Every structure is written in structure tokens, then in C-alpha cells.
């Protein structure tokens, strides 16, 4: 038996198929992965993401600590509540984890890291904090509900505390604010609008039920994966890990090279790779026919190079099979993917595949 979130009973009541995910009992789906996927793209759905690790970082040297810990630069954050996406790197430039950090003040930040890397991340963060005026507090007293979809914003507002609804309605993307005991952020992992709400465990079932009452349907991990793939969003451990740099993972935009004097962990090997040019690039693939793309399938480029799919699936929104892949740099647009012993034609595209319910493909 794995760890259970505060919403475990709600999942059982809704008929969820529960599976183990990173040591947690989590809902895979509530009957139909495809229906749940379409529910998010067309209306609104909610995810229990309480297994994610929320870590509050505080102390007099917190800002300096995070400027060294992360490849992106928290100095960009000057307005309370603003958020930043970025990566923690190891000394070789590999990705320890990708995360979101919220700026509360110069001496207080909130980080959200992946469930599967929780222990590793906390150990790494503590080691980097040694000798500094920095305190790390894991917030296992908090649950987290993500509400996503074109109607998610309006529906979720009805379920938030009355006095703060106007503030929440005016919240800009990639920002958060505190409403009584809740922390409400306008972020997500689906390519749709919505909120991620962090709140005390004891309050989570009531918010979940209130969202059900206004027509927000529960969605499981299976649809969450196809939604994030359509949105071109990386999954740690699949699309990047400690042996792959952000420059090889489509995440070069998250590296803040300026100012030159900021020595973040992994900077020197990353600079060397940038100067030499990465040998691999991260691309999207669309299968030109029937079949399903999956992780680890080989990609054969028209010029003779070879790559590999990192994430792949059928896209319910587009009705075709799509994937993220790492291929040799400088290769042509046409390729073939080995599917069940056959080479099937595919085309390289630039992710995302879907954003705000609309196709981003130009082919």
C-alpha cells in the first residue's frame, strides 16, 4: 500500500482505478482516459496533484542560495506571487529536476518539485544549503488540486473564498496569491488555463466536492500525461534526467545566462556545450499514418542519423500519434520511426502540438 493523499476517499467514491505512482496511491482514470482528456480540452477537469512536493525556503540568504541552485534566475522575480519555471542542475549540467518557484519576498520562496524525485531533490537542496542562512520546510500538511480547461478559471472562482475572488480573477498567468489558508496559482501542466490550489489537507475534500458541484470532473494520471504531451511539456525521468542537459531537452530558454557573474551549479559545462553546440536536439514528431509512438522507439533520420523517442502517445485532440524525441543536431525534417519492427514515416515539428484546445501543427 502506498501513501495516500487527503483526497483518496474521494477518488474511490468516484470509481477511480488506483495505481502506484512514485510510492503514492493515485487515480489512473475514472472510467475513460479519452473522455477525461476531452473534458479538459473542451470544458474543465481537476487533478489531485497532492503527491507533488511543496517546499518553503526561507532565511537571510535565500535569494542568493536559489540564484546558485537554479539555472534560471530568481532575481527576475520582483513582484510577490510571481513564478518561475526552471531546472536544478548537477555539476555536469545534467537535470536534477525541473520545478516551479514562487517569489513571496527576498527571504521567502515556495518551490514545487516532482513527486518521483522528492527525496533526491530535498537531499540535494539541503546539501547545497549547508553553511547558509537558509531553512527548508517540506509542506506535507498541504494538498494540491489543479483545475484546468477553457472553463476552469470561471468555475474554480465560484469555489474560492468570497473576499479574495476578485484578486484571483485578476491573477496573471504564472502568478500566485494567498487567500486565507489557500495559495492559488494560475499555472498548469496541460496547455490550458486554470488554477493550482494549495490548501491544508483537511480542507481539500470540501474544495474537491465544491468543484464537482459546479461541474468540474475528476481527471486521472493517464489523461494528464496525454494532455502534457500535446502541450509539449517535459516529464522528468522520461524527457530529461541527470545525464541530459537543458540544451538537449528543449529547455535552453529556462537558462538565464545573464548576468555573466552568476555562478549557478552546472554553469561551466553548460557554457562549454553551448559554445560547441549540442550534438542532439529535442523535437516533436507526428506519425504520418496509423500506429502509436512510444518511448524508446528508434528514430531514423533521412540523412542517416539516429535518435530516440522520449515520450509518445496517441493524441486524442489531433487524432494522430505524436511524440517528443532527441535526434542528432542539424538533421532534416523527414524521418522514420521503428514501430513493432516496421519503419513508419514521421515528420519533425516544433512543440507544442496543442495549445488552448487548438492545433499548433502547420503540416
Task: Identify the pLDDT of residue 164.
Answer: 87
pTM, to two decimals: 0.97
Q: Are residues 337 and 194 in the same domain?
A: no
Give per-residue burial for 120-151: e unless 16+ CB within 10 Å, then b.
ebeebbeebbeeeebebeebeebbbbbbbbbb
Of 207, 230, 253, which residue is a domain's last? Answer: 230
- Which residue, among 211, 67, 87, 92, has the nearest Cα to 143 in the 3D structure? 211
125 located within any domain? no
13 located within any domain? yes
Q: Are residues 205 and 338 in the same domain?
A: no
25 located within any domain? yes
Number of structural domains (the chain) is: 2
Q: Are residues 35 and 184 in the same domain?
A: yes
Q: Are residues 40 and 149 in the same domain?
A: yes
Task: Identify the pLDDT of residue 363.
Answer: 55
Q: Are residues 35 and 145 in the same domain?
A: yes
70 located within any domain? no
Residue-wise pLDDT tens digits, 144-174: 999 999 999 999 999 999 888 999 999 999 9
CATH number at residue 195: 3.30.1360.120
Q: Are residues 147 and 216 in the same domain?
A: yes
Structural domain that includes position 341? 279-359
Of 230, 258, 290, which residue is a domain's last? Answer: 230
- pLDDT below 50 — which residues of the chain? none
Q: How far apart are CA 116 and CA 97, in angstroms?
A: 10
75 located within any domain? no
63 located within any domain? no
Q: How far apart are CA 149 and CA 192, in angstroms?
A: 5
Q: Are residues 220 and 285 in the same domain?
A: no
Task: Identify the pLDDT of residue 277.
Answer: 92
Q: Are residues 147 and 36 in the same domain?
A: yes
CATH number at residue 343: 2.40.30.110
Strand extents, DSSP E, 90-214: 95-105, 108-113, 135-138, 142-148, 176-179, 182-185, 194-200
Q: Which residue in the block uniquely carries the three cell numbers 532527441?
A: 326
Cβ–Cβ < 8 Å for 267, 255 = no
Handedness of CA 110, 114, 116, 121 (dihedral sign): negative
Of 230, 245, 268, which residue is a domain's last? Answer: 230
Residue-wise pLDDT tens digits, 93-147: 999 999 999 999 999 999 999 999 999 999 999 999 999 999 999 999 999 999 9
- Rounded to the nearest 5°, which phi and psi values hold at 57? -115, 125
174 located within any domain? yes
Task: Identify the pLDDT of residue 62.
Answer: 98
Q: How far apart are CA 4 and CA 137, in angstroms?
A: 20
Task: Identify the pLDDT of residue 163.
Answer: 87
Q: Are residues 37 and 147 in the same domain?
A: yes
Task: Identify the pLDDT of residue 151.
Answer: 98
Task: Identify the pLDDT of residue 332.
Answer: 73
253 located within any domain? no
Amino acid at each position: 500500500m502506498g501513501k495516500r493523499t487527503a483526497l483518496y476517499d474521494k477518488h474511490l467514491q468516484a470509481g477511480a482505478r488506483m495505481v502506484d505512482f512514485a510510492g503514492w496511491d493515485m487515480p489512473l482514470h475514472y472510467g475513460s482516459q479519452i473522455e477525461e482528456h476531452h473534458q479538459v480540452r473542451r470544458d474543465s477537469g481537476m487533478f489531485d496533484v497532492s503527491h507533488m512536493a511543496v517546499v518553503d525556503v526561507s532565511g537571510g540568504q535565500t535569494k542568493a542560495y536559489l540564484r546558485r541552485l537554479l539555472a534560471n534566475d530568481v532575481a527576475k522575480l520582483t513582484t510577490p506571487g510571481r513564478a518561475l519555471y526552471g531546472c536544478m542542475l548537477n555539476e555536469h549540467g545534467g537535470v536534477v529536476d525541473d520545478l516551479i518557484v514562487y517569489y513571496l519576498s527576498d527571504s521567502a520562496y515556495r518551490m514545487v518539485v516532482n513527486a518521483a524525485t522528492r527525496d533526491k531533490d530535498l537531499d540535494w537542496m539541503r546539501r547545497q544549503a549547508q553553511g547558509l542562512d537558509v531553512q527548508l520546510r517540506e509542506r506535507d500538511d498541504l494538498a494540491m488540486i489543479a483545475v484546468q480547461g477553457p472553463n476552469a478559471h470561471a468555475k474554480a472562482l465560484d469555489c474560492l473564498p468570497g473576499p479574495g475572488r476578485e484578486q484571483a480573477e485578476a491573477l496573471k498567468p504564472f502568478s500566485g496569491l494567498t487567500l486565507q489558508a489557500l495559495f492559488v496559482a494560475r499555472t498548469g501542466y496541460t496547455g490550458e488555463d486554470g488554477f493550482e490550489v494549495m490548501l491544508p489537507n483537511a480542507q481539500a475534500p470540501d474544495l474537491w466536492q465544491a468543484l464537482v458541484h459546479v461541474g468540474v470532473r475528476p481527471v486521472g494520471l493517464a489523461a494528464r500525461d496525454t494532455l502534457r504531451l500535446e502541450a509539449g511539456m517535459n516529464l522528468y525521468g522520461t524527457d530529461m534526467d541527470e545525464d541530459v542537459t537543458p540544451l538537449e531537452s528543449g529547455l535552453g530558454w529556462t537558462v538565464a545566462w545573464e548576468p555573466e557573474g552568476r555562478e549557478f551549479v552546472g554553469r561551466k559545462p553548460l557554457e562549454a556545450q553551448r559554445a560547441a553546440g549540442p550534438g542532439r536536439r529535442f523535437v516533436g514528431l507526428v506519425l504520418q499514418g496509423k500506429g502509436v509512438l512510444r518511448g524508446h522507439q528508434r528514430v531514423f533520420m533521412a540523412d542517416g542519423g539516429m535518435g530516440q523517442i522520449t515520450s509518445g502517445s496517441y493524441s486524442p485532440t489531433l487524432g494522430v500519434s505524436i511524440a517528443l524525441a532527441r535526434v542528432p543536431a542539424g538533421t532534416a525534417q523527414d524521418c522514420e520511426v521503428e514501430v513493432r519492427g516496421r519503419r513508419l514515416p514521421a515528420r519533425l515539428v516544433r512543440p507544442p502540438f496543442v495549445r488552448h484546445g487548438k492545433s499548433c501543427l502547420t503540416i
